[in-house]
Amino acid sequence: MSDLSTHPRARILMCAPEHFEVSYTINPWMKPDTWQSQAELLGARSNSGWHKLTDTLRSLGAELEMVPPQAGLPDLVFTANAAVVLDGVALVATFRHPQRQPETAVYKKAFEQLKARGLLREVLDMPAGMILEGAGDCVWDPVRDTFWLGYGQRSDKEAAKLVRDTFGFDVVPLKLVDPRFYHMDTCLCPLTGGEVLYWPQAFETEGKALIEERFGKDNLIAAPEEDACAFAVNAVNIGRDIVLATVSDKLRGMLEERGYRLHATPISDFNLSGGSAFCLTLKLDRASGGRDIPAELDIVSTSA
Ligand code: ARG
C-alpha cells in the first residue's frame, strides 16, 4: 500500500548545472558567443538560480532526485527531456540533435537506478530511429488524462501512437510552428485546475482549435507575449502552486484570480539555452486518474 502520509507532494528528477553552458546552437535562443563573453558570471548566476529553484520546490513539499552532471553534456540539466514518465513507467527519450544524443544513456542509467530503488516500475527504450524528447515534448494533462505531443521541430509525429500504445491514454499530436517554441513545454502547460496556460501563436490554426475544443473556452489562459518570450509557460505546477522564472503583473493577476499561488525564481539565465522551470524538472510520480502517485507503485518517502 502507498503511504500517503509520508509521500512527498511530488517526486522530481533534476540535474545540477555544474557543466551547464551554451556551447552549441540547436534552438534560436542559444548563442555561444553571448555566453562566452560572460561565461563566469552566467555560470555562477545560473548555478545559484538553480539552487533557489530546488529550495522553492522543496519548500512546496517536493522530494528531489538527482542525475549526476556530466562534462560535455551542458543540456543534461533539462531533465524534462529525459523521458515520458507516467504510472511508474519511464519511456527514455531519444534526441534530434547529435549534441544531445549521448544524454539517452546517462538518463537511462539514472532511471534503472530509480527502478532498483522501487521508484519506477519499468524503464522502456524508444524503437530505433524514432525521436521523442521526453516530457518536454509530451506534456500531460492531469485532469483529462491526455498527452499533448509537440512535433515538427524535435520529436516525431509517429511517437504519438507509441505513447498511446505504451501508456494507454489519448495522445494529441500538435505541430509546433514557431522555432522559438520548439518543445511543447515551452508553449503549453495544462494546470491542475483544468485550465491551460499556453502561447497560441506557437500552433497552427487547427492546433489552436483543438486546444480550445479539448480544454473549453473558460479554461484558456493565453500568456501575454512578454511572458511567453520569458518562458512563463514553462512552469512547474504542483497543486495550486506554480513555479516559474518571471511573471508579468498581468499574467500574475490572471492566474491568482483562478486560485493559483505564484513563485518566481531567479532562473532566467537558462533562457539563454531555451529552457526554464519545467525543462529543469521531471515529475517521476506522475499518475493517471487524478491520483497523487501511481497506484501500481508502492512508493514511500525515502527521506529520514
Ligand atoms: N538547450 C536545450 C535544447 O535546445 C534546452 C532544452 C529545454 N528543454 C525543454 N524541455 N524545453 O534542447
CATH code, domain carrying 89: 3.75.10.10
Would 299 be classed as within a structural domain? no
Alpha helix stretches (DSSP H) within 155-198: 159-167
Q: How much is the average pLDDT of 186-203?
A: 98
Mean pLDDT of the chain: 95
The range of the structural domain enclosing residue 282 comes to 11-288
User: What pLDDT is attached to residue 1?
Assistant: 38
Taking the CA atoms of 209, 212, 213 and 215 in sequence, report the sign of the dihedral they define.
Answer: positive
Would 294 be classed as within a structural domain? no
Show the cell assigned to 165: 500504445
Would 24 be classed as within a structural domain? yes
Above pLDDT 90, what percent of the chain? 92
The residue written with cell numbers 483543438 in the block is 210
Report how far ligand 1's centroid is from the alpha carbon of 274 (Å): 6
> Is 279 a pocket residue for ligand 1 (Cβ < 6 Å)?
yes
Confidence check: pLDDT of 261 > 90: yes
Would 6 be classed as within a structural domain? no
The count of domains in the chain is 1
Would 225 be classed as within a structural domain? yes
**Ligand 1 test: best mutation among 22, 138, 279, most atoms within 8 Å of CB?**
279
Would 57 be classed as within a structural domain? yes
Q: What gap in Å lies between CA 191 and CA 30, rounded to an integer? A: 28
Report how far ligand 1's centroid is from the alpha carbon of 75 (Å): 7
Show the cell assigned to 175: 505541430
- Which residue's CA lies nearest to atom 7 of ligand 1? 275
Q: How much is the average pLDDT of 194-208?
A: 98
Q: Is residue 295 within 8 Å of 29, Cβ to Cβ? A: no
Q: How much is the average pLDDT of 51-64?
A: 97
Report how far ligand 1's centroid is from the alpha carbon of 21 (Å): 12
Would 300 be classed as within a structural domain? no
Would 202 be classed as within a structural domain? yes
Q: How much is the average pLDDT of 229-255?
A: 98
What letter does residue 67 receive in the DSSP assignment?
Answer: P
Annotated active-site positions, please? 183, 279
pTM: 0.95
User: What pLDDT is attached to residue 6?
Assistant: 60
User: What pLDDT is attached to residue 97?
Assistant: 98
